[in-house]
């Protein structure tokens, strides 16, 4: 691998994701794709011997990647506590550690959310003592995106956590959306102030206190894709359900039978299409961590790798850290 300054190294956990047919070939193909799209990117791939072979067969330029044998995979549903104890040598662990050690600028994994969040927090540490959250750029009209978080990094959330997510979303939007003062809203079941549960109302009161946040109140789930707001804050359980419910309907259209499928392709707005492939960023840890869809379709992992390169090239983690320092100092 080269040592010049403009190189961006990405660590890839090559063990995560659903083990479908052509599992290794799919991963190797996504590395090849990402290496072609990003000429300054190089990859450190952690995984089993079979993956090393698949990478060699893929015909990727040898200088563009390094393979490290790390055959231990973490089951998708492993208990986060056991992960810290039993999987210290896993490919996922080693890939995250390579970011901590400065070998790589970002890590990509299609492994389980629970293990990825637990290991990232443990190895990289939390950013500004905030609670980390999974954040996705949701398409919201031609050329527009809305950040939505948390999408499932946390199964439970307190009002303080939702406030943390608002701060993380605000800090990230300068770099992910090119917006300095994003509109921030809470996902709720109605727009009137008395709607929702106690968690939502408490979180609203906390977020409102931040003078630097442009808080807009509530947004409903049927408006997620319409760009009413730049950042949508929700707990990881609700966010995950909302995202998957939307995916379910999109899937009906994309997989209709026969001629309807043809019409669905024509009907799908261009701006909506990349959505299901986008990786999710784990914001709030000291390092760039990208979670790819577990379905391990080649496109999804390739897009996640490209997203990681993009985030690394804007120094997303250190830039967010600076932004949060200024936000939180003002608060004190």
Among positions 123-142, residues that touch its own copies (CB under 8 A) are none
**Is 36 near its own copies (CB under 8 A)?**
no
DSSP 162-214: HHHHHHHHHHHHHHHT--SS-EEEEE-S-SSTT-S-HHHHHHHHHHHT-TTSE
| Nearer of residues 84 and 264 to its own copies, judged by Cβ | 264
221 binds its own copies (CB under 8 A): yes
> Binding to its own copies by residue 295, rule CB under 8 A?
no
Q: Which of 177/254 has CB closer to its own copies?
A: 254
Following DSSP, what letter does each residue of 265-307 receive, concatenated? Answer: HHHS-GGGGGGGG--EEEETBSSEEEEPPTT--HHHHHHHHHH
- CB-based contact 202:168 (threshold 8 Å): no
Q: Which of residues 59-118 bind its own copies (CB under 8 A)?
A: 76-77, 79, 114
Among 198, 211, 329, 332, binds its own copies (CB under 8 A): 198
Report in angstroms how near the CB of residue 300 gets to its own copies at its nearest: 14
Q: Of the candidates 24, 2, 22, which has an alpha carbon nearest to the alpha carbon of residue 91? A: 24
**Residue located via tokens 């701006």:** 271
In sequence order, what are the residues at sequence separation of 6 or more whose Cβ sits closer than 8 angstroms to the Cβ of residue 302? Answer: 29, 30, 33, 34, 37
Selected range binding its own copies among 27-35, 48-56, 205-213, 220-228, rule: CB under 8 A = 220-228
- Under 8 Å between Cβ of 289 and 132: no
- The verdict on 195 binding its own copies (CB under 8 A) reads yes
Contact (Cβ atoms closer than 8 angstroms) between residue 28 and residue 296: no
Name which position in 30, 38, 93, 240 contacts its own copies (CB under 8 A). Answer: 240
50 binds its own copies (CB under 8 A): no
Residues 6+ apart with CB under 8 A from 258: none
**Region binding its own copies by CB under 8 A among candidate stretches 29-37, 91-99, 241-249, 313-321:** 241-249
Residues that bind its own copies in the complex, under the rule CB under 8 A: 76-77, 79, 114, 152, 155-156, 187, 189-190, 192-198, 220-226, 234, 236-238, 240-253, 256, 259-261, 263-264, 266-269, 272
């Amino acid at each position: 691998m080269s040592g010049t300054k403009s190189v961006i190294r990405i660590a890839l956990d090559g063990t995560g994701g659903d083990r479908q047919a052509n599992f290794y070939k799919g991963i190797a193909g996504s590395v090849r794709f990402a290496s072609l799209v990003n000429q300054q990117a190089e990859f450190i791939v952690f995984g089993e011997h079979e993956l090393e072979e698949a990478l060699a067969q893929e015909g990727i330029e040898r200088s563009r990647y390094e393979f490290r044998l790390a055959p231990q995979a973490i089951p998708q549903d492993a208990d986060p506590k056991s992960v810290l104890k039993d999987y210290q040598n896993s490919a996922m662990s080693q890939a995250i550690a390579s970011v901590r050690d400065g070998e790589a600028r970002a890590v990509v994994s299609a492994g389980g959310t629970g293990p990825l969040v637990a290991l990232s927090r443990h190895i990289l540490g939390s950013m500004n003592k905030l609670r980390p959250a999974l954040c996705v750029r949701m398409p919201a009209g031609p050329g527009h995106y809305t950040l939505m978080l948390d999408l499932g990094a946390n199964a439970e959330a307190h009002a303080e956590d939702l406030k943390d997510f608002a701060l993380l979303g605000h800090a990230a939007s300068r770099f992910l959306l090119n917006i300095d003062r994003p509109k921030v809203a809470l996902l709720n079941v109605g727009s009137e102030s008395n709607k929702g549960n106690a968690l939502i109302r408490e979180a609203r009161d906390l977020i409102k206190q931040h003078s630097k946040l442009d808080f807009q109140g509530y947004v409903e789930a049927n408006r997620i894709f319409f760009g009413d707001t730049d950042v949508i804050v929700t707990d990881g359980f609700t966010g995950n359900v909302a995202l998957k419910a939307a995916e379910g309907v999109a899937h009906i259209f994309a997989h209709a039978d026969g001629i309807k499928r043809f019409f669905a392709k024509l009907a799908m707005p261009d701006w909506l299409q990349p959505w299901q492939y986008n990786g999710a960023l784990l914001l709030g840890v000291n390092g760039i961590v990208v979670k790819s869809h577990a379905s391990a379709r080649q496109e999804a992992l390739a897009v996640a790798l490209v997203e990681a390169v993009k985030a690394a090239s804007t120094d997303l983690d250190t830039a967010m850290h600076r932004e949060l320092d200024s936000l939180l100092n003002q608060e004190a």
